Amino acid sequence: MIEIKHKDSGQVLFSTEADSLAEEKLDGVSLAGADLAGADLAGLDLQRADLRRADLTGANLEGCNLQSALLTEALVSDANLMKADLIDAACQHATFRDSKLTQAHLRYAKLQNCDFTGADLRETDLTMTDLRCNLNDAILVKADLQGADLTGANLTGADLSEANLKEAKLAGAQMQRTKMTGTIGPTGKAFGVKPPPPKPWWKVWA
């Protein structure tokens, strides 16, 4: 038997006689405030699930379907979200510190005021996302940020090498120590690419 309880009250939010959650239909399930710290939820279908304020610290969510899920104020630090699908998910004020989101899909996700400090977002699809949040020391190498809203975002120490920021909004963003080698900027031109050295004067007419 598996029981999922509320992290504060201990109230049972979901129970099943099955040995694994993989056998359960969980799309749209209401798990607001659930204690799922360290849980193995890899590959589960949790689209449209209500996980507001849930504790998913250290959880395994690899390949999980979280399309249009509610993760507002959820704790998702040190979690594995590799290749997870969070398209159009509502994650405002959620904490993803030191989590692994490599190759995850977050297109159109609402991520304002989230904390991605130290998170691994390599090769992640962040197109058209609201990223007005904390990305301090985050790894965004080769991430796709086309059209993302990074207005006022904290990108201090972030690694955006070879990322795509075409048409992204960066007004007021904090970018101290941000790595931008080979990054495609909002205008479509690459940052950090040195122009060729000028020809010596005696070769100008060669």
Residues 6+ apart with CB under 8 A from 192: 180, 181, 182, 183
CB 101 within 8 A of CB 120: yes
Domain ranges of the chain: 25-103, 116-193
189 pLDDT higher than 90: no
| Mean pLDDT estimate for the chain | 93
203 pLDDT higher than 70: no
Q: Is the pTM of this model over 0.85?
A: yes
Output Rg (C-alpha) for the chain, integer angstroms: 20
CA distances from 115 to 76, 135, 154 (A): 10, 7, 10
CA distances from 76 to 20, 36, 91, 118, 196 (A): 21, 10, 10, 13, 45
CB 27 within 8 A of CB 49: yes
Instruction: For domain 25-103, say whether CATH 1.10.357.10 is its number.
Output: no
pLDDT number for residue 192: 55
DSSP 8-state symbol, 18: S
Note the pLDDT tens digit of each residue in 15-73. 999 888 887 889 999 999 999 999 999 999 999 999 999 999 999 999 999 999 999 99
Residue 201 pLDDT class (50, 70, 90 cuts): low
